A and B are shown apart, each in its own frame.
Chain A
Amino acid sequence: MRTSPIALALVAALAFSGAAQAAKRDNTVRWAGNQVPENLDAYFNNVRLGVIIAHHIWDHLIYRDPTTGQYKPSLATAWKWADQKTLEFDLRRGVRFHNGEAFDADDVVYTLNYVSNPANKAVTQQNVNWIDKAEKIEQYKVRIRLKKPFPAALEYLAGPVVMYPNEYYAKAGPRGMNEKPVGSGPYKVVEHQPGRLVRFERNKEYFKESPRPQPTIDKLELRLIPDQNTQAAELMAKGLDWIFNVPPDQAKQLKAVRDITVSAGESMRVVWLTMASHDKTPAPVFKDIRVRKAVNHAIDRQAMLKTVVGESARVIHTLCFPNQFGCTDEGAPRYNYDPAKARQLLAEAGYPNGFEVDLYAYRERHQTEAMIGYLRAVGIRTNLRYMQYAAMRDALREGKAGFAHQTWGSFSVGDVSASAPVFFKFQADDVTRDDKVRELLDAGDNSVNPSVRQVAYKHGLARIAEQAYIAPLYSLPVYYAHSKDLDFKPYADEIPRFWEARWK
């Protein structure tokens, strides 16, 4: 197991450190992230921190209870499927945005029509490209027309699709929304220093009927601290009250610190190795199914869970999170850890001495390094190209990267349409391009019949596994470390809910 420098140094520091005192200073939670969202506008970034921020600033038409999975009224008070491609919503009256603008049908119509128009280049296309158009029926009644039947629509409307004030957004656009975000959510942004700091204040006017409780923490201060070790040091020195994505070895050390609570939970984020096998792949070795299978056999997933990944995670065999609707590994072949077989497959494919390839990665570097070790053991020599997510995503999309340590949190959407189809339906992130897979996943995405969907996804996921297009690895645990005085509850969707948190 690889131990970070701070893990060793922490032990030394602990010998000297006094008892940590509660950090309730002025009812503020100071927290940190390490990936800069390129834009705070929820539709113009696709990093986890962006999703978390969005949930605090904005509201959704409907709310999904993270414990029961039930949908509850939020900005919409009622909804119904008018037909397979039409949803109708009654909207709540009396809700105001942070700038005082009143919420009504115009806001919903403008937001949805703006972000779903490809010309406006929303980064998170998969979250909005099912929307054909939104129409105002009355001041507090809207209709959303879908391009085709899309049963997961409600899941998206309760997740990544948030509502903007139309007048402000028309004037400010994504650039203005980044500089000064305006929503109706439990927190409002009072200061944004791009790439450095976001300060939030409790929205005292937050609508009382919201399914989310009224926040009790007055202020949130989010700082960008790229280095995980620095975050841990800040937590110990009480400069921060809450950090997440703590590496397992560091979590172990932090557990020993008095006044710090470490909690772990499984997240919806799944991990796999992407192998670009399309016509213009920069790594043509992956066009050969035997090479792809060899990669699958090369990695000891169980051992990785035990040593570098951590508790609360599980091995996966298909590209989706097991709790998502439609996710199954039934009928999908299992590629057990078998380095001898991997070497044999490589030899059969014409690489008896292995080959060299660039491996792209952007997070959990210690896990990438473990994978590199396993790959090297069967003859696949990798050059690590470690970068930020957006850069890696672009390299894959532009056909510059052929091999990547990928992860995906499905934007916390509990439906399989938010995972595998993103990477296998000939959209920007599809680096395999298999007609059969697309056809099967399409059938799952477009039917409103749950059993038809389940069967279609099952076959689609099985086909991906049979062709070994990717090497599915495991789900990720998330470790949170925070002040013991902070009452904080983690959820599998990786979204910290500071509106629920409180100082003890």
Chain B
Amino acid sequence: MLAYTFKRAVLALLVALTVSLACFLLVHLSTDVAVAMAGEGARAEDIEFIRKQYGFDRPLAVQYADWLGRALRGEFGDSLYFRTPVARIVWERLPVTLTLGAWAILLALALSIPLGVVAAMRPNSWLDRFTLTLAVIGQAMPSFWFALLLMLLFGVTLGWLPISGSDTQAHFVLPAVALAYYAAPAIMRLTRSGMLEVLGSDYIRTARAKGLRPAAVLFKHALRNAVVPVVALAAVQLGFMLGGSVVIETVFALNGLGYLAWEAILHNDFPVVQAIVLLIALFYIVLTFLADLANGWLDPRIRIV
């Protein structure tokens, strides 16, 4: 397991470095950063001053090493739009996104794995059809529409939950449900198909034949093997929730990273864009790394391959 962990960690590190390079190059090749920073109406000498002042006249490789060094220390410069340090804005918005992502993935897993297992235990039953219907609706319904329906029912009509903002944990309930319901169908269907495949295998028949209790067969033998691909998918879904929940964050007025990324792109605020892209990429890398470790633990064969 140690050798496997080490290999995965080196791979993750290399991916992180590649992503940071891509992220740096994308911004620097897509626009003249000095011109963008100088702003409208700047004279040629202003632009040259900024180019020298910020070191944009140095070779790209040197600039990259410098940027990476500062990024490692958490320094990303100032936002061109908000005129405050990027690290501060990102730091302020991060907890909102992390809280939303954590609640949403927990909800999605809590909903989809039991339903997936139940559907697999009784394939083609009314229960299976019911979970399929839930999955289809979840995938087909635009998340903003579902969000509005939740708001109207639980916020306006019943008055049970706050509608927008991020002041308390209660504020995260509706957005987390909306986000979870979008992510759940894929996990649910993957659990179902994984379970169906495993339940039909020889070792399950053997387990049953030797008289193990159905619960032991299901949870100890079947589920552990069926969830291997689900772990990887859940990691990707969480990555999506952390980086791509722009719509949900906008509808519920949650000022998290997703909404910040959208604002930054609109305002050509490249230091913020760079920081967020790097951060989200790191989320994905860390989550994939953890999923790999979890899979290695769940299925020892993976460690050998």
Contact = CB atoms under 8 A, between A and B. Distances in A.
Given A175-B83, A387-B266, A237 B253 contact: no
Contacts, number: 97
Given A178-B83, A239-B162, A233 B156 contact: yes
Contact of B164 (A38, A175, A225): A225
A430 to B, nearest CB: 12
Given A36-B263, A230-B252, A175 B84 contact: yes
Interface stretch (B146-154, B180-188, B224-232): B146-154
A178 B84 CA distance: 10
Contacts of A237: 155-156, 159, 163
Interface in A13-45: 13, 16-17, 36, 38-39
Interface string B231-270: 0000000000000000000111101000110010011100
Interface of A: 5-6, 9-10, 12-13, 16-17, 36, 38-39, 121, 174-175, 178-179, 193-196, 223-227, 229-230, 233-234, 236-237, 239, 387-388, 390-391, 394, 397-398, 428
A5 B266 contact: no
7 contacts: A13-B156, A17-B156, A36-B263, A38-B81, A233-B152, A234-B164, A388-B266
B40 A397 contact: yes
Nearest to B96: A196
B251 A227 contact: yes
A229 B148 CA distance: 8
Given A5-B148, A178-B83, 20 more contacts: A6-B152, A9-B149, A13-B152, A17-B156, A39-B82, A121-B39, A175-B83, A194-B84, A195-B82, A224-B253, A227-B250, A230-B251, A233-B148, A233-B151, A233-B156, A236-B156, A237-B159, A388-B267, A391-B268, A394-B268
Nearest to A125: B41
A416 to B, nearest CB: 24
Interface in B171-202: none
B156 A230 contact: no
Contact of A38 (B82, B89, B250, B260): B82
A457 B266 CA distance: 35
A102 B168 CA distance: 40
Nearest to B167: A197
B164 A239 contact: yes
Given A195-B263, A223-B253, A226-B250, A234 B163 contact: yes
B145 interface: yes
- Most chain A CB inside 10 Å of its own CB: which residue of B89, B162, B267: B267
B152 A230 contact: no
Interface of B: 39-41, 81-84, 89, 92, 144-145, 148-149, 151-153, 155-157, 159, 162-165, 250-253, 255, 259-260, 263, 266-268
A229 B147 CA distance: 11
Contacts of A174: 83
A36 B262 CA distance: 13
Those 5 A-B pairs whose CB atoms lie nearest each other, nearest first: A225-B253, A16-B157, A391-B266, A13-B152, A388-B266
Given A224-B255, A391-B267, A428-B41, A233 B84 contact: no
Given A233-B156, A388-B266, A398 B164 contact: no
Contacts of B157: 13, 16-17
Contacts of A226: 250, 253, 259
Contacts of B81: 38, 390
A142 to B, nearest CB: 29
A94 B132 CA distance: 73
- Most chain A CB inside 10 Å of its own CB: which residue of B153, B164, B252: B164
Contacts of A428: 40-41
B41 A233 contact: no
Contacts of A5: 144-145, 148
Nearest to B42: A121
Contacts of A194: 82, 84, 89
A178 B162 CA distance: 29
Contacts of A121: 39
Contacts of A175: 83-84
Contacts of B84: 175, 178-179, 194
B76 to A, nearest CB: 16
A233 B267 contact: no
Nearest to B249: A226
Contacts of A16: 157
B249 to A, nearest CB: 9
A362 to B, nearest CB: 9
